[in-house]
Structure formats: structure tokens, C-alpha cells
Amino acid sequence: MGALGIFGVVVFALGIAASVALHEAGHMFAARAFGMRVRRYFIGFGPKVWSTTRGGTEYGIAALPLGGFCEIAGMTALDEVTPEEAPHAMVRKPAWQRVGVMAGGIAMNLLIGVVLIYLVAVFSGIPNPDADRTPRVGELSCTSDQVDERTLADCTGPGPAERAGLRLGDELVAVDGQPVESFIQLRDYVVERPGETVEITVERDGGRQALPVRVDTVSRINPKTGEAFEAGAIGMGAAPVKDAVKQYGPAAAVPATLKLSGQMLDSTVDGIIAFPASIPGVVASVFGAERDIEGPVSIIGASRAGGELVERSAWSVFWMLLASLNFFLALFNLIPLPPLDGGHIAVILFEKVRDFLRRLRGLPPGPPADYTKLMPLTYLMASLLLFVGVIVMLADVINPVRLFG
């Protein structure tokens, strides 16, 4: 990676750090708006480099610029508060205000993501949320072996797909009964089945046809090792998506940004759900297995990807990647487990439901939740997050995700 790539790595890492710091600022702004006492707000961690105190809050910069933290007086009943802080303690505020404070960081990351997408939409162009991305046949050709990293051997005549009856413009519906959502999905399925016959279902002229396709066996080169291996090929390429990327004016960019943000949030939810199942693959990649480009990455891997994008002057994708990361931070923090924000929100909601049930029985509200009972779960979750984080960082150093091979 050259100097420009290293510059991109640094800028993306700073973007991640700023996103985390602004997440904490979201907590601070909400707490101050509700009259809570914010003791400290620091950018970075570790030894203090500089600080100043204003309005009862110490603002400062720490030595390691990796995010930040916000300390609010009386976040739980376990926190000791001074007599002066007591009226402003978070634990004494209404439940909706406490939920608002914990959601403040989440809202900040969502806002950052939306603003970044809007700016890219206006100044460069974003993936068109209204584009028709139905996978279609755009090319039919013969199949041949791979000669080098960039070249296939010459060949003539029809390939397996064309011989089986596929036509240009066919909509790809399924392969062996499995729905096809993208051309890449079909390609990866075929690559793993040299010499086999697969059934490709297409939609043509309003009707569906199931076409058996005999997969050719060809030679391909592993870009990491340079070694040849057998792969399947059927001689078919994807049709380009019309208006796949679109630039918008300031007004038109608003609905387009909101629609694309919704689509990206849906994808983020799917990624978080699939996160646990992806960990074994990350562990295997540390020992040489192929790294899944769609799997989890750490700040190291994400920053490296940012560097690759800057090397190729793909700044719009760079900022979209940072927006996607902010959406992940927002939704991941919503998981209702301590020590995440969602865990604190779950405790507050538990108290409200408990007090409602107590009122139905003619009883007074119960005391604040006893966080000591949650400490074992908190330590367990923190340990798991630390363990997974270390594994992913190790994979990003030993076997990093490469966007461009």
C-alpha cells in the first residue's frame, strides 16, 4: 500500500474515532438537555493530555484518540453522588428521559450516517435506491481456462448457458430451487460445481422456465496463492443495472437518502443477525482459510479497506463505508444486553413494567434495579466482545479482507 493508501487508512481510522466520540457526545447532549450532571466528556482514552471545566463538566482530550467517553452522575443506583449532584443524578430522572439519554448516542450515529449519505448523493452520487437490480443475463459466451491473473484463454462457439437455452435479458429466478437474489450468488454457486448439472429457472415473456445447464470444468487461478484450481463455468455474464448510481439535487437527495438509509439499515440488521455464525469463519481465516469479504472486520480491517478505496480515488464509496459503519454502531448498541446502550434501556423499561404491575396490585414503585445482579452477565458480555474483537483484529492483520484482490 502506497502513501495515498496509508493516508486513507489514517483518515478512515480518524473517522471511526470521531464517530465513537460523537456517539458519546449524543449521550452528553441529551443528558444536559434533561438537566443531568455530566461530570466528564473526553475525546480519546488513556492519560489526560488537556482538559478544561465549564458548567460543572470537565471537557478533555486523552492520549489515545480512539473514540471517547461520557460520565454522567448517578447513571445507576450504585454510583455515588455528592449532595450537589443528587438532584441532577440520572437515576432520579423520569424513565423516558433516561431512555432518551441512552438513545442519544444511537441517534447520533444514525444522524452521522444519514448526513454522510446525503452529502455523497449531492456531490457525487449514491446507489440508486429505485434502480431495478433484478439479476438478468447480459452476456453469453464460451468458457475457457484462466491464463494469468487478468486473462482468459481464447475460445469460440456457444457456452453451456447458451446451449441450454438461456437468452439475453432472461431474469434469473432460482438455481436448483434456491432463489437467486444477485448474479454473484449464482456465479459462486456454479464455481463450486464443475462437471455437474444445475437447473437454472428464468422468467421470460411473463412465464418461467427451468433449464438444465451442464457446468464446464475450467482452470482458475487463486489470486492469493497463484495456484490453479478446478472451477465451474457456464459462460454467462450479468446485465448492467440501469442508473445504478445517481447524483441528486439538494431537494431530491432528501427522499433518496432516506430510502437508501432504510435499505442499508435492513442490510445491517441482517448482518448483525448473521454475526455469530460468521465467527468460526473468521477464526479459520486466521489459520489460512479464505476470508469472507462480507464477514465482520475490526477498526483495523475497516481502515485498511478505506485505504484501498482512497488509493483508487473512490472517495464516494469511502464515505458510504463510513456511513454504513455508523449504522452498524447504532443498531449494535440497540442489542438489549449490558454493557451496550440497549442493555441500559432494557433495564429502564423493566423498571417501568415492574412498577406498572405493582400499581395494579396497590403497591408503591419498586427501588431502582440492582445492577449488582447484572454484573456477571455484564462481565460475560464484555469478555465475549473483547475476545471476538481480538480474533477479528488478528484476522485483519494476518489475513485481511481485500476489496480489490
Cα 144 vs. chain centroid, distance in angstroms? 37
Three cell numbers, residue 131 = 434502480
Phi and psi based region of residue 139 (left: phi greater than 0; alpha: psi -120 to 50; beta: remaining): beta
Q: If you average pLDDT over residues 244-265, what whole number do you get?
A: 97
Q: Residues of the chain with pLDDT > 90: what percent?
A: 84
Burial class of residue 286, CB neighbours in 10 A (0-12, 13-18, 19+): middle
Which position has the grid cell 423493566? Answer: 350
pLDDT value, residue 263: 96
Q: If you average pLDDT over residues 100-121, what whole number do you get?
A: 98
Q: If you average pLDDT over residues 203-232, what whole number do you get?
A: 92
Query: pLDDT confidence of 220, banded at 50, 70, 90?
Result: very high
Which position has the grid cell 453469453? Answer: 140
Between helices 315-333 and 253-286, what is the axis angle to 10°?
A: 80
Write down the mean pLDDT value for the chain: 93
Helices (H), 130-215: 160-164, 183-191
The yes-or-no verdict on residue 357 having pLDDT over 70 is: yes
286 within 8 A of 393, measured Cβ to Cβ: no
Query: pLDDT confidence of 405, banded at 50, 70, 90?
Result: low
Whole-structure pTM over 0.85, yes or no?
yes
Integer Cα distance of 403 and 320 in angstroms = 14
Structural domain boundaries in the chain: 1-129+246-405, 137-238
Q: Beta-carbon neighbour count of residue 60 at 10 Å?
A: 17
Q: Which residue is catalytic, options 24, 71, 162, 311?
A: 24
Catalytic residue flag (residue 139)? no
Q: Beta-carbon neighbour count of residue 53 at 10 Å?
A: 11
Q: If you average pLDDT over residues 142-150, what whole number do you get?
A: 90
Angle (CA) 403 260 315, round 5°: 40
In order of 173, 190, 234, the CA distances from 152 in angstroms are 28, 18, 14
Looking at the DSSP bridge assignments, the partners of residue 179 are: 174
Domain at 137-238: CATH architecture:
Roll (2.30)
Query: pLDDT confidence of 306, banded at 50, 70, 90?
Result: very high
Integer Cα distance of 190 and 134 in angstroms = 19
pLDDT, tens digit (0-9, with 9 covering 90-100), for 48-83: 999 999 988 999 999 987 778 999 999 988 889 999
Cα 200 vs. chain centroid, distance in angstroms? 31
Phi and psi based region of residue 288 (left: phi greater than 0; alpha: psi -120 to 50; beta: remaining): left
Q: If you average pLDDT over residues 96-122, what whole number do you get?
A: 98
